[in-house]
Amino acid sequence: MDIGSAFANPEAENKGVWVEYRDGSKIKIARIGSLPFTKAYDAALKPHRRKQRAGTMDTVLETRILCEVVSKTILLNWEGFTNEGKEYKYSRKRAYDLLWGNIDFRNEIVELATVEETFHKDEQEDSAKNS
């Protein structure tokens, strides 16, 4: 086994990679579980740790924290997004709003950010060729 190609690229996991999304749009995502994500998620949950451990943390709050952390550390950019026919440029605020307001989008981003193959060197090279 060649460990250089058998596992995901740590730099890509932390800094993100461009992937094809829908209707010709692209998103730049980092990996859930990466160091930036883990640090931010731990920091955001710290004030709520007691309730989380007790199983009494409010689900809405937990989802809001997840959306905030994903918008800061996982969903890093996008291209080709529109809103009512007008270009919808990326911003962290817009990323949060879209993650919070659309469960399907949130689930898709989280799923893409967990797939190891997304962050392999050969996948990144194929993506770059197709861009």
Q: Is the pLDDT of residue 10 over 60?
A: yes
pTM: 0.84
Q: Is 14 in contact with 36 (CB distance < 8 Å)?
A: yes
Q: Are strands 82-83 and 75-79 parallel, antiparallel or unpaired?
A: unpaired
Residue 14 tokens, joined: 């932390």
Strand-pair partners of 79: 26
Q: Is 65 in contact with 58 (CB distance < 8 Å)?
A: no
* pLDDT tens digits, one per residue of 38-69: 999 999 999 999 998 899 999 999 999 999 99
Strand-pair partners of 87: 82
pLDDT value of residue 129:
46
